[in-house]
Amino acid sequence: MEPIPVCDYEGSAYRTEFWTRGRQYEDKVERIALRKLLPPAGRRLIEIGAGFGRLADLYQGYERVILLDYAPSLLNDARQRLGRDGRFDYVVADLYYLPLASSVVDTAVTVRVLHHVQELPQAFAEIARVVRPGGTYVLEYANKRNLKAILRWLLRRQPDNPFSRQPYEFVPLNFDVHPEQIERLLSEAGFQLQTRLAVSIFRFEPLKRLVPIRFLAALDSLLQGVLAPLSLSPSIFLHTKLARTGTSPSPNPFGPAHSASARAGNST
């Protein structure tokens, strides 16, 4: 069986080249959305695709935080930035094969990850496996039915029909996904939708240059819930709960079957 391709950021300058070039607005509004959706506290949280730990400061209420990524260099960057905080474990792994026991985390998070995922059913099934029954999965995805894409399609400036249910792979391993497809696949994996937020509503470069970022972020925050039913924003955040029953949580999150070598720079 062929392995599922994974988008590999190993050795990239993701933090210095992507996040320092005019994306303060996106960073602010994504943080606002996560603060609204994340349970404030818990025993264990895992962020899958954590990269250099951009969002790690939002997890202060959790006893243990697992930052997981496919790229060791990004996790090394995260460890250097976060210092000696003993709550963090740094895990190098493939999201299709999480090196965790079943039902061991209270909360799972994926932000700017699903647009690189080719096989969403497998990814959601694996996340459902490691979340405890009644636990939370907060996710973000790139919405193919956003307003800009609709206008571009109507003007014949993009080939993909934003109303079709199929993912749009605009470059290799970069997918925009239809809201109905995402929510159907989550339901099939056992997740029940609780809250939807429209995020990055004003992701328009001329606007970001003309209007103060603080004002745009504040307006985005006010509209995230109001505009969510329309699903027209380029980024959508969801808060879901795992409905199914599962196995009893393991005291060891990495489980007896998984080698400690999966952990990169474990803080403990």
**Residue-wise pLDDT tens digits, 41-86:** 999 999 999 999 999 999 999 999 999 999 999 999 999 999 888 9
What mean pLDDT do residues 93-104 have?
A: 96
- Measured CA to CA in angstroms, residue 8 lies from 43, 55, 117 at distances of 30, 19, 11
- What pLDDT score does 22 carry? 87
Radius of gyration of the chain from Cα atoms? 18
Question: What are 221's two structure tokens?
Answer: 């925050």
Q: Report helix angle 24-37 to 213-223, nearest 10.
A: 30
Question: What are 2's two structure tokens?
Answer: 């062929």
Question: pLDDT > 70: what percent of the chain?
Answer: 91
- What would the pLDDT profile of 204-218 be if each residue is shown by its tens digit? 999 999 999 999 999
For 135, the enclosing helix (H) or strand (E) is strand 131-142
pTM of the model: 0.92
